[in-house]
Structure formats: structure tokens, C-alpha cells
Structure 1
Amino acid sequence: MSTPDHTSLDAIVAAGRDLLEAGGPDGLTMRAVADRVGVRAPSLYKRVRDKAALRRLVADATADDLAARFEDVSGFPAQILAFRNFAHERPEGFRLLFFSGAASQEGIERASLPVLGLADALSGQEHALEAARLVTAWATGFVSMELAGAFHLGGDLDKAFEFGIERISRALSEPAP
């Protein structure tokens, strides 16, 4: 087995993200990460304080991944579609980021900046935070239900998502009362 000096923090985080996707939150353990990167579990503690710190590192890397995806596209529809695609590609990371409280404040802010900028462009600076919260809540709720298989009435979910994007975009572009 390698020594911790031969294992980078980036490799540890990448292993953690992969294990999270493969086994859910229960699969993200110090022992599993140590095995994946080729060190003994006690050696991993020289790089990562504990499981909570590991979860935070994984959540922050997930937030950075999401922020990068937002930056790769422009405009409201494209960014919201990137958010949905991200959730489908990394459902456990999505859940960790949005429902566990594991990410640091800095990680959340990095992932939020593109959404705030988009909300500012749609509804103006005065209402950017409210608009960003509306968009995030709608998209997170829709995608969460979709991932859980909770839409039981049939219909085309892609079409429903696009309908939501169009309606929210239109509503946010109108002057606030």
C-alpha cells in the first residue's frame, strides 16, 4: 500500500465522490476511500481529519463541479438544463450538496454565484436573491421528485421541465409589482 505522501487530497476527494455515487452516503467511508486510493485507513487521517471532513470535501468538490457546469453554458434555459443534467449524472452528489448540509458556506457560495448572476439578469439586482431562491427551489424540487420516481401521472418530464423553465423565465423577466 502507498504511504499518505503518495496520495493527493484531490485523489482522495475523487475517490470519495465515486464511492458516494456507487454506494450512496453509506458507501462514503474513510476505510473505503483509503482502500480506493491505496493507503491504510489510519493513514488517511493524516490528510482528512474525519468522516465529516471527508463529506465536506466531497460536497465542496461537488459544488465546484456544479459551478463549472454553470459557467460552461450561458442563459437561463441552458444553466437550468445543466443543473438537471448534473443531478442525473451525480444524483448522490446532488443529494449531498442540497439536502445534507455537508458543504461549506464557501462551497455553497461558489455554486450560487452563477445562479445569482442569472437571476440578476432576469429580474434585476434588487430581486436577484429572491429570484435565485425561486429558481433553485423549483429546479431542486422538480429534479428531486424526478430522481425519486415521484411523478406518477405520466406525461413527458422533459416537456414539463421545459414548460417550467419558460414560465419562470417569463415571470422573472416581468417587472415586480
Structure 2
Amino acid sequence: MPTPDRTSLAQIVEAAREILESAGMAGLTMQAVADRVGVRAPSLYKRVRSRGDLIGLVAEATVADLAARLEAILTGTDPRKDLTELARAFRAFAHAHPVGYRLIFDWGPDTAKPDQASFALAAAPLLRIAADLAGPEHALEAARTITAWANGFLSMELAGAFNLGGDLDVAFEYGVARLADAFIGTRPAAIG
């Protein structure tokens, strides 16, 4: 097995993220991570103090991954299009990493809340779009409304809670378009 010096913290966190997605929170153990990175479990404690700290690192890495994906899709030319693309990227992320998504949006007793700076980075693209749609004075409120709607939709979708039939892709696109319409419709007219 490699020595702990050959196993980076980044490798440990990435292995933990993979285990989280494949085995859930219960399967995310120090032993499982050690097995994945090829060291003995006690060696992990030279890089990570506890399972709780490891979960916190996984949450931070998940938020950072989401932030990078959201930042990458912005064009800055059309806020409606940017909102649509951002919402689609957010949804795709939730589907690709459903357990990680729940980790960062549903803190339970054995999860750790990512720090505020991480969330600020993830929220920055949405705040820019929200400012363009609703005006800078309402950007935070608009961003929170969009996030609450998207998180509610995705939480229900991931849980299989939409039981009335219909096309969820159409419903998602409809919701995003209506949000954009609502914010544009409430923005004060430009003076000038």
C-alpha cells in the first residue's frame, strides 16, 4: 500500500465523493476511503481528523464543483438564456451527484455545512443573472426565489415525488421561463 505521503488530501476527498454517490452516507466510512485510495484506515487520520471532517471536506468539494459548473455556462449576453442554462446545469449536477446534492442542500445530523465563502462562489453566477433580471436592488431576493424553486423541484424529482404524470423536462423548463418572466415583469423601468 502507498505511504500516506503518496496519498493527497484531494485524492482522499475525491474517493470519498465517489463512495458517497455509490454507497450513500452510511457507506462513507474511513475504511472504505482507505481501501479506495490504497492505504490503511489509520493512515487517513494523518490527512483528515475524523469522518465528520471528511464529510465537511466532501461538502466543500461538492459546492466548489457546482460553482465551477455554474460559472462555466454564463454568456452574459442574455439573462433569460443564462438563467435557463444555469438551471439546466444545476439540474444536471443534481442528477449526476444526487447524494452530494442532498449533502449540500439538506444538512442532517451527520453532515457538515460548507462555509459561507464556498456558497458565495456557487451563488455568484446566479446573483449576476438575478441582478440582470430583477435589478441589482432585488438580486438577492430573486436568487433566493430561484434557488428555492429549483431545489424544491429537484428534491421532489430525485425523490420520485411527482406522481401526476406529465413530462418533467417540460415542467422544469416551464418553471424556469415563468421565473424569468416574473422577475423581468417586476423590474423598474429604466429612467432616461
How far did 1:145 drift?
0.3
Q: Per the alignment, in what secondary structure is the counterpart of residue 186 of structure 2?
A: coil
Unaligned runs of 5+ in 1: none
Greater gyration radius:
2
Which residue number corresponds to residue 42 of structure 2? 42
Aligned partners of 1:111, 1:31: CA distance in 2, in Å? Answer: 31
- Structure 2 distance, partners of 1:109, 1:41, is 34
Code of the aligned partner of 2:7: T
**Equivalent residues of 1:67, 1:111 under 8 A apart:** yes
Q: In the alignment, residue 175 of structure 1 is paired with which amino acid?
A: T
Q: Does 1:70 align with 2:70?
A: yes
CA distance in structure 2 between the aligned counterparts of 1:44 and 1:59, rounded to whole angstroms: 18
Once the two structures are TM-superposed, the CA of residue 86 in structure 1 deviates from its matched residue by 0.4
* Partners of 2:187 and 2:131 in 1: CA distance: 13
Please name the residue that 1:90 is paired with: 97
Q: TM-score, normalised by structure 1?
A: 0.96
| Alignment equivalent of 2:183, drawn from 163, 172, 175 | 172
Cα distance between partner residues in 1 of 2:115 and 2:16:
16
- Asked if structure 2 preserves the Cα contact closer than 8 Å seen for 1:122 and 1:172, the reply is yes
Query: What's the CA shift for 1:106?
Result: 2.1
Shift of 1:173: 1.3
Q: Secondary structure at the match of 1:174?
A: helix
Q: Is 2:133–2:187's contact at 8 Å kept on the other side of the alignment? A: no
Deviation at 1:68, TM superposition (A): 1.1
| 2: CA distance, partners of 1:35 / 1:102 | 26
Q: CA deviation at 1:38?
A: 0.9
1:1-177 to structure 2, matched below 5 A, reads 1-74=1-74, 75-100=82-107, 101-175=112-186
Equivalent AA in structure 1 for residue 115 of structure 2: S
Q: Does the Cα contact within 8 Å between 1:55 and 1:102 map onto a contact in 2?
A: no
2:79: which partner in 1?
none
Please report the TM-score for the alignment, with normalisation by the length of structure 2: 0.89
Letter in 1 for 2:33: V
Count residues in correspondence: 177
Identity over aligned residues, as a percent?
Answer: 57
Gaps of 5+ in 2: 75-81
Retained in 2: the 8 A contact 1:56–1:104? no
The separation in 1 between residues aligned to 2:39 and 2:87, in whole angstroms, is 39
